[in-house]
Amino acid sequence: PENGISLSKFKFTPWPKAPDAVTPLNVLFVGRLTPVKGLNMLIQAVAKMHHTGGNVELNIVGDGPMRQEWEALSKHLGLKNVVKFHGNQPHEKIAGFMQACHVFCLPCIRESGGAVLLEAMASARPVIALNHGGPSEIVSSNEGVLLPLSHPEQVIYDLAETLMDIPENPSVWRVRGVEGLRRVESTYSWHAKLNLVDKVYSEVLAERGV
């Protein structure tokens, strides 16, 4: 039961107004800014969408050794007003960022857990991640999109294509968010976790005739 989520901290809110020419697609990343998080690939994917006319913004919550380099990358790509770095934030404010976004993206290339994906799903937000490690166990096509872990250029392309699909098919992505909440409630809430552990102990005791 290593991954669990408190539904009292991350609560369901309706999906925001669908992204369009006026309302930008709000993409959220939350995590420590280290190389394995792959945020540079997400920034470049957002640049592809932005420079082809897509209305998008990327909010980044977290801090770490790569912040300065990735801020410089954003400016180099002409994303000064598109990519916003918010630094470390308390849990209650992170919940607010989750509620404000259209989609949560974790392009991590080495992630054993992925609890932050559950926080987004508990907020009824669809998620995008790479099909590797912990995220591959948490996310299915019902709750979001798992992209192949490939070479960086392919991941950037896949991320950009996936992001551009959201304004084209907003109802599909809204439903994915709802499905994510259902999965968290049934499998990853602490209440569900306690029920699972209780069931396992009961089965073991029954097998031993206790």
Position 45 scores a pLDDT of 98
Predicted confidence (pLDDT) at residue 155 exceeds the cutoff of 60 = yes
- What number of residues does the chain have? 210
Are the C-beta atoms of 60 and 83 separated by less than 8 Å? Answer: yes
What DSSP line would sit under 68-135, residue for residue? HHHHHHHHHTT-TTTEEE-B---HHHHHHHHHH-SEEEE--SS-S--HHHHHHHHTT--EEEESSSHH
The H or E element that residue 28 is part of is: strand 25-30
pTM of the model: 0.91
Position 2 scores a pLDDT of 65
Predicted confidence (pLDDT) at residue 15 exceeds the cutoff of 90 = yes
Mean pLDDT within 136-152: 94
The H or E element that residue 157 is part of is: helix 152-168
Q: Which residues of 59-83 are buried (b: 16+ CB within 10 A; e: fewer)?
A: bbbbeeebbeebbebbeebebeebb
Adjacent-strand bridge partners of 56: 25
Q: Name the 3-class secondary structure at 38.
A: coil
Mean pLDDT within 10-34: 96
**Residues 85-137: tens digit of each pLDDT:** 999 999 889 999 999 999 999 999 988 888 999 999 999 999 999 999 999 98
Comparing 108-112, 157-161, 175-179, 190-194, the range with the smallest average pLDDT is 190-194
Predicted confidence (pLDDT) at residue 145 exceeds the cutoff of 90 = yes
Mean pLDDT within 170-183: 96
Are the C-beta atoms of 41 and 117 separated by less than 8 Å? Answer: no
Q: Name the 3-class secondary structure at 15.
A: coil
Query: Please, what is the average pLDDT of the chain?
Result: 94
**Residues 188-203: tens digit of each pLDDT:** 877 777 888 888 888 9
Compute the distance between CA of residue 109 and CA of residue 151 in angstroms, rounded to an integer.
Answer: 10
